[in-house]
Amino acid sequence: MMKKKISLLFACTLLVCISCKKDWTCSCTYTLDGTASGSYEINDKSKDDARSMCEATAISETGDTLVCKIAD
């Protein structure tokens, strides 16, 4: 009985932590005649929202590429 209560408490805590909004780092790599990289913060967003915002920054045209992803 006690194991079930502890498991339920752990599951609820995990769910709250996963769904909360927090700060994320978007890391980008730019390639054109070499490679450069950088990162910026995305504040107070869920991971899915931050990932969408970060990946929307990406470009790819005529040799230029900018690839961005959320740093885990």
Q: Average the pLDDT over each of 13-17, 21-25, 65-69 and give the range with the smallest value.
A: 13-17
Per-residue pLDDT at 10: 54
* Distance separating alpha carbons of residues 59 and 53, to the nearest angstrom: 13
Domain segments of the chain: what residues? 21-70
The predicted model scores a pTM of: 0.67
Q: Which of 45, 57, 44, 51 is nearest to 70 (CA)?
A: 51
pLDDT band at 35 (very low <50, low <70, confident <90, very high): very high
